[in-house]
Amino acid sequence: MATIALLGTGLLGEAIGLRLLERGVRLKVWNRTAKKCECLLKQGAELIENLDGAARGCQSVITVLRDGPVSAEVIAALGDLDTGCCIPMGTMGISESRQLAKQVCGQRGAYLEAPVLGSRSEAINGTLLMMTGGETSEFEKQLPLLRILAADPKWMGPTGSAAAAKLALNQLIASLTHSYSLALRLVQASGLDVECFMEVLRPSALYARTADKKLERMLSNDFSNPNFSTALLRKDLKLFVREANMADVNTEALMGLVDLLNRAEGTSLDNGDYSALHALTAGSVEKS
């Protein structure tokens, strides 16, 4: 297996790294906070101490970074990509991904966007849902690597297609969680037993698995140990609104949800699981 560079070893990035190492991939890793690489180093990864030139000899460079601008900055620091393929797996805007593809080409590299849906457990088990965008030839070339992380990586179309799909899905996460929270609030306020309500919801066409996945957190107000934080959900929803507006899509109905998520800033909810939206629909947010 060729050498792979992994840039960004947060919750998801670390899990992706563990999966690659478990499957015998030679891995070089970098994070702005080097301490976050320790787990992967103990499993046999090599630390990238200097980004400049770190892509030399690497078949691919996977990035799992906060957003498009950060990804562009970190990839630019690599310099010559030595014909390797840059594979960003984080969420970014459609226009940002297309611009990054041009940047990567200028750095003598190939580009394949590959945002994923799933969290730490799915990454470790190799069951992420992966969408890719770019040249079909590059998709075929990278398939052996991608299949380590996702059983069925999907080619969505040219660059920007996968970014669009990921933004659309993350908007659904925000909207579904919000609407479910509102429903629970009314159920609770009415005195109706929540489980009685769930027994009707589960067999209906309205049911989504996230309802049961997030129910205990919402009822207990325990948003600790998140796989995806409220802050990241807000960031992605704002990015969706920006890109949708550029495409002449009416996003007025989403602005109330953006405003609601803005209320989490400066509170303990921001770093908690995104199901903390349920705390926001209570009508007041305690600062902490």
Task: Select the more confidently predicted residue: 177 or 266.
Answer: 177
Average pLDDT over residues 214-229: 95
54 DSSP 8-state letter: T
Using the Cα atoms of residue 173, residue 176, residue 182 and residue 188 in order, give the sign of their dihedral: negative
- In the chain the domains, ranked by start, together with CATH numbers, are 3-158 (3.40.50.720), 163-280 (1.10.1040.10)
Residue 117 to residue 68: CA distance in whole angstroms: 17
The region, left, alpha or beta by phi > 0 then psi within -120 to 50, assigned to residue 141 is: alpha
**How confident is the model at residue 286, as a pLDDT?**
47
Closest C-alpha to 90, from 122, 118, 109, 48 = 118
Judge contact between 95 and 69, C-beta under 8 A.
no
Residues 195-215, mean pLDDT to the nearest whole number:
97
| 105-140 per-position pLDDT tens digit | 999 999 999 999 999 999 999 999 999 999 999 999
Mean pLDDT for the stretch of residues 51-70:
96
Q: Give mean pLDDT, residues 202-225.
A: 96
As a whole number, mean pLDDT of residues 176-195 equals 97
Average pLDDT in the 15-43 region?
Answer: 97
Sign of CA dihedral 14, 20, 24, 29: negative
The stretch 258-271 carries a mean pLDDT of 95
pLDDT reported for residue 2: 83
Whole-number pLDDT of residue 1 = 65
